[in-house]
A and B are shown apart, each in its own frame.
Chain A
Amino acid sequence: MNLPEPRATLFERDLLYLFSLDADVEMRREDLGFVPGGVRMNVFARPDKTRVYHVERERSTFGFKSVQGTITAGVDRIFLREDDVGLVNVQVSIETDDGADIHAAYSGVFPAGQRGYRRLISKKPKLGTEMEPFMAKAFVTPRFETSSLKYRWLMQYQCVGYSQVAVIDSVVRSVSVDIYAMD
């Protein structure tokens, strides 16, 4: 069998920064508890404590209007696996400062670090402190939907998000995400 020669070069690729969002997590959380393979919990964003913004305060991205606004509803259904890896399943609605609605639903991975599973659920020892929060990385793959003509350009991109999750006393307190478009 004659297989084609493997490529020696990679495709051109680029990541273009779109916007960031910072979300405080509500104290009201739903700990469903143990399910086969790990634990399940739901955490909610606090609408009055979230912000969607461009870090350089730019007014345009790709020549289009950049996204600035707040999260009006957001929930993350986390499945923390026994192998210290968390899976996130997020649904958020963003309201931009000029009144447009943007919807996103995406999943991702959240490595909780060595023995993170045990420390997060047993609090022995607790994961992170007020003075020194445990900062975990999370990687998400959002796609966006909107009816707004101003932001319709968002829908043509598969995006990736690099997140930092702050854990204090074994409880997730806040999430910050930088969203990039794959181009």
Chain B
Amino acid sequence: MPRANDRRRNAPKAAAQSEGNGGGLELVPTQALGDGESGEGEGAEGQTGVTSAYGAAAGERIRKLEGMLPRYYFTVTSELEALRVKRSDASGPRGARIHVTYGKGSGVSTKPRDYRDSWQCELLPGVDEPELVEGANEVAWRKRRWNGIEGEVVSGADFLLARLDGVLELDGRVTIRARDKTLIDATYWGVVDLARDWVVPGQGGDQAPGGDRAGGDKDPNPDEAAVSKAYLDFVTGQVSGDLRVSLCIRFETNTGPWASSAEAEDTAWTKKSRLKHEKTVWKYTDLVRQQFYGIGIIRLERDQNGPTMPKEIEIDVVAPSFDWRRP
């Protein structure tokens, strides 16, 4: 399976060439919005009011964002098991629903090489230790925003919807258990164009939905026939191959007993809770404090008895780097 990381690894070079600054992380401070001092602002003469000021600043911001690199957090790989939809005609008014569960052979890990490429430093030893080693190791860990994770997917389901317009909607929930027993819940969603987002269409005898139009010269706006063919090929199990997916991901995990105002003076009882995980709270705090994205691949296999079955998923979890916000 082609690694989803490959594209990201090449991104720094491309960004450096286009920006000439090796990363382009220095963005316009928020205060600059509307002050008319940006280069775009000067070029926006003739426009008046908030619109021109905002437009100028936004243009500058977007140009800088193009050079911004996502931060790599970890990779999730898992076999998938399709539970539902037994017949090829199993489609509701919006399309075909497929209930997919995450199966055995799942893994969650921060890959040292990708971590180094992204964070410009090595993973600290002990990242996969069940118990945090007290002392100097912890001090070093706490200085970092993200220290990596090792674990597995303990449960997960995705209620896929293959829409009539040839778009696959993903709507999943996954629970990850780190080796230190911390549970992390992930909620994700995304859309994939079945007529376009194939990684290796046409190879190995595989045929992508949408026929030739989904081949190497991908049509950015597939016509109605290609869309219909993509949908029908998918729900009748006529295709296989690797489907490129991008997801929005949100994480939830134990971040400590946050006392409300009413409880502020009486939190001793939470110490007795079966839900406290004080030792690991700080390790994964970064996961719940920002928006994440997933970039990866779903491997699909033919199934003569029903829709194309998702068999495997590999997702790199990344977050946008907002270091530019800091003074």
Report Cα–Cα, A140/B184, bound state, in Å.
26
**Do A93 and B269 have beta carbons less than 8 Å apart?**
no
Type the 1/0 row for B152-168, where 1 means its CB is closer than 8 Å to any CB of A.
00110101000000000
Other-chain residue from B86, B97, B255, B262 in contact with A35 (beta carbon distance below 8 A) = B255
CB contacts (< 8 Å) of B252 on chain A: these are 32, 35, 40
**Do B183 and A145 have beta carbons less than 8 Å apart?**
no
**Do A145 and B269 have beta carbons less than 8 Å apart?**
no
A115: shortest Cβ distance to chain B, in Å? Answer: 10
Report Cα–Cα, A66/B253, bound state, in Å.
41
Does B108 touch A at the CB level, under 8 Å? no
Does B276 touch A at the CB level, under 8 Å? yes
**Do B272 and A36 have beta carbons less than 8 Å apart?**
no
B15: shortest Cβ distance to chain A, in Å? Answer: 35
**Do A91 and B157 have beta carbons less than 8 Å apart?**
yes
Does B218 touch A at the CB level, under 8 Å? no
Type the 1/0 row for B79-100, where 1 means its CB is closer than 8 Å to any CB of A.
0000111110111111011010
CB contacts (< 8 Å) of A73 on chain B: these are 83, 99, 101, 157
CB contacts (< 8 Å) of A105 on chain B: these are 159
B residues lining the A interface (CB < 8 Å): 83-87, 89-94, 96-97, 99, 101, 154-155, 157, 159, 173, 175, 183-185, 252-258, 260, 262-263, 269-270, 272-277, 288
CB contacts (< 8 Å) of A145 on chain B: these are 92, 94, 97
Does A61 touch B at the CB level, under 8 Å? no
Type the 1/0 row for A167-183, where 1 means its CB is closer than 8 Å to any CB of B.
00000000000000000
Sample of 28 A–B contacts (CB below 8 Å): A30-B185, A31-B274, A31-B275, A32-B175, A32-B184, A32-B253, A33-B253, A33-B277, A34-B256, A34-B257, A34-B273, A40-B252, A42-B175, A42-B185, A72-B84, A73-B83, A77-B185, A82-B262, A91-B159, A93-B99, A103-B84, A103-B97, A122-B273, A145-B92, A147-B87, A147-B89, A147-B92, A147-B96
With both beta carbons as reference points, the residue of chain B lying nearest to A36 in the complex is identified as: B258
Other-chain residue from A103, A121, A147 in contact with B91 (beta carbon distance below 8 A) = A147
With both beta carbons as reference points, the residue of chain B lying nearest to A119 in the complex is identified as: B269
Other-chain residue from A44, A123, A146, A155 in contact with B274 (beta carbon distance below 8 A) = A123
A61: shortest Cβ distance to chain B, in Å? Answer: 19
**Chain A to chain B: the 5 pairs with minimum beta-carbon distance, closest first:** A33-B254, A147-B90, A33-B275, A34-B257, A121-B273
**Do A44 and B254 have beta carbons less than 8 Å apart?**
no
- In the complex with contacts A101-B90, A121-B274, A31-B183 CB distance below 8 A: yes
A47: shortest Cβ distance to chain B, in Å? Answer: 10
Report Cα–Cα, A30/B85, bound state, in Å.
27
**Do B269 and A34 have beta carbons less than 8 Å apart?**
no
A157: shortest Cβ distance to chain B, in Å? Answer: 14
**Do A35 and B270 have beta carbons less than 8 Å apart?**
no
Type the 1/0 row for A103-118, where 1 means its CB is closer than 8 Å to any CB of B.
1010000000000001
- Interface size class on chain A is 20 to 34
**Do B157 and A147 have beta carbons less than 8 Å apart?**
no
Type the 1/0 row for A37-69, where 1 means its CB is closer than 8 Å to any CB of B.
101111010000000000000000000000000
Task: Name the interface residues of A90-137: CB closer than 8 Å to any CB of B.
Answer: 91, 93, 99, 101, 103, 105, 118, 121-124
**Do B85 and A36 have beta carbons less than 8 Å apart?**
no
Does A75 touch B at the CB level, under 8 Å? yes
**Do A35 and B288 have beta carbons less than 8 Å apart?**
yes
- In the complex with contacts A93-B83, A101-B84, A75-B275 CB distance below 8 A: no
Report Cα–Cα, A77/B171, bound state, in Å.
14
**Do A155 and B155 have beta carbons less than 8 Å apart?**
no
**Do B272 and A30 have beta carbons less than 8 Å apart?**
no
**Do B159 and A103 have beta carbons less than 8 Å apart?**
yes
Report Cα–Cα, A67/B87, bound state, in Å.
20
Further pairs besides A30-B154, A31-B183: 15, Cβ < 8 Å = A30-B175, A31-B274, A31-B275, A33-B253, A34-B255, A34-B257, A34-B270, A37-B258, A72-B83, A91-B159, A103-B99, A121-B273, A122-B269, A122-B272, A124-B272
**Do A34 and B91 have beta carbons less than 8 Å apart?**
no
Report Cα–Cα, A42/B170, bound state, in Å.
20
CB contacts (< 8 Å) of B263 on chain A: these are 82
Task: Name the interface residues of A144-163: CB closer than 8 Å to any CB of B.
Answer: 145-147, 155
Other-chain residue from B90, B92, B155, B262 in contact with A30 (beta carbon distance below 8 A) = B155
**Do B254 and A34 have beta carbons less than 8 Å apart?**
yes
Report Cα–Cα, A30/B273, bound state, in Å.
15
